[in-house]
Amino acid sequence: MSVSRLITLSALVLAALSGCGTTAMTGKQSTGIAPASPDVPVSLTQPEFRQPRELSSRDGRLHVRLVVEQRVVQLAGQNVRALTYNGDYMPPTLRLFPGDRLDLDLVNRLGEHTNLHTHGWHVSPQDSSDNIYLHIMPGQTYHYTYRLPKDLAPGTYWYHSHAHPISEPQVFAGLSGAIVIEGLNRYLPPVLHRTAELLIALKDFQVHKGAIPTANIDSNAPTNRTVNGLLNPIIHIRPGETQMWRLANIGANIAYHVQLPGVRFHVIAQDANPVARVWGTDTLLMPPGSRWDVLVQGPPAGRTRLVTLPYSTGKDGDSYPEATLATLVSGGRAVTPARLPTTFAARYFDDLRKDPIAQRRVITFSENTRTNQFFINGKLFDPNRIDVRARLNTTEEWRVRNLANEQHTFHVHVNDFQVISVNGRPYHARNWQDTVQLPAHGEVVMRTRFRDFVGKYPLHCHILNHEDRGMMANIEVVR
């Protein structure tokens, strides 16, 4: 079967959802400027695209100090109070190699507790590693130590606050940044080893009385969509030039349905899992927390809008209008487009359909719209309760059901998963992933292998409002 005929997860989810396509929306046509909150003046001057500063490992080590505090930053042409790492709304990108060690000092200068999650990393969930149950209190400094496996998959990850039950306001107000694990380019043809890499981190914000709100957040309200904290920046490319784009949704609640009209995205990794076979698509569905590493090639000279299309998460969810994310300007001396790879990094995709199944489980997502509470298997989150106990080095199959009138975004820490089917239709996976959109009144069947690490970690909805209001559960992996 050709790659173009393989069923993709984005297509399956979109087909499974009633009212999630463009016909479900009556939003206004985009003007080329992201919609603004009422008291935010939108600048008509387009900024040039820029990437966050980077902190890179040397000789296998990286030592980082992140100060968490509220600061006044420049957003949408005015000063806005936001939550920042090291004073930046778009904080530094951390770049490391598999096998490296990260020492990170988190300094809390907020008036409430916080912590840090390295989203997507296959590392220990215990002690001072990716332990999201820690509360770093006001005035405290906490030292995290992460030892990356030598076989950690290369790709795009991110870091953010996971402080329960205030993860939504902290991430929405700015506490998120990108991580890059080096090594994807080694699987590209030699002619593309030095291709330009662009981080396109999608963050969204609103402003009320001069600050990004941290209470009574309405993700369905007019919201600015930014790329690296910039409104509609200009991205330059030469006609025919190949670039690697690292697309990452590092916002709190909002989904993106990304399109670059006339240009195809050639996927080389999803959720920092390199694909076995490269495939092309015109659109990418990006629920909160998801990432895509893609190759794009410059179109003929001219301007093309990178947009997020109209999207609805269902009857009880949100409806988002089309918005322009950036403007791609193709110009300069044209180059002959490079021949793109078809096969890629098959070593990272171990097909779990071959594994014996130690246990089959049903995981149910549901909600009470009257009380605004969200449940997994009928229970609100309790940090001290173990909901799933699994054995190390076994594979389980989970049928994840969504009983709600809106989509939920399933995410699990430490061990990624392979999607087997969506609403009963087989899904031909090319990679593992850590985030998947659950259709309203639908289900996703997935398999996961519990590798390397014991300890407790969560599964949850990555719409952080839902997580904070109960839609999270605990897994404990034991020997």
**Is the distance from CB of 326 to CB of 228 less than 8 angstroms?**
no
Per-residue confidence (pLDDT) for residue 14, from 0 to 100: 52
| Per-residue pLDDT, 28 | 29
d(CA 160, CA 379): 25
pLDDT at 76: 84
CA dihedral sign of residues 297, 302, 306, 312? negative
Q: Which two tokens stand for residue 168?
A: 């939504």
Q: Which CATH code, of 2.30.110.10, 2.60.40.10, 2.40.30.20, 2.60.40.420, is assigned to 22-36+187-345?
A: 2.60.40.420
The residue-averaged pLDDT of 91-110 equals 98
pLDDT of residue 44: 54
Q: How far, in Å, are 275, 277, 458 from residue 190 at the CA level?
A: 18, 18, 40
Whole-angstrom distance, CA of residue 42 vs CA of residue 242: 32
pLDDT-derived band at 34, boundaries 50, 70, 90: very low
| pLDDT on residue 45 | 82
Convert the pLDDT of each residue in 129-143 to its tens digit. 999 999 999 999 999
- Per-residue pLDDT, averaged over 20-34, amounts to 31
22-36+187-345 and 54-185 share one CATH topology?
Answer: yes
pTM comes to 0.91
Q: Say yes or no to pLDDT of 17 above 60.
A: no
Domain ranges of the chain: 22-36+187-345, 54-185, 347-478
Q: Which fold has domain 54-185?
A: Immunoglobulin-like (2.60.40)
On average, the pLDDT of the chain sits at: 92
pLDDT of 26 strictly over 90? no
According to CATH, the topology of domain 347-478 is: Immunoglobulin-like (2.60.40)
Distance CA 21, CA 15 (A): 9
Reply yes or no on whether the pLDDT at 314 is more than 70.
yes
Residue 23 clears pLDDT 70, i.e. is over it: no
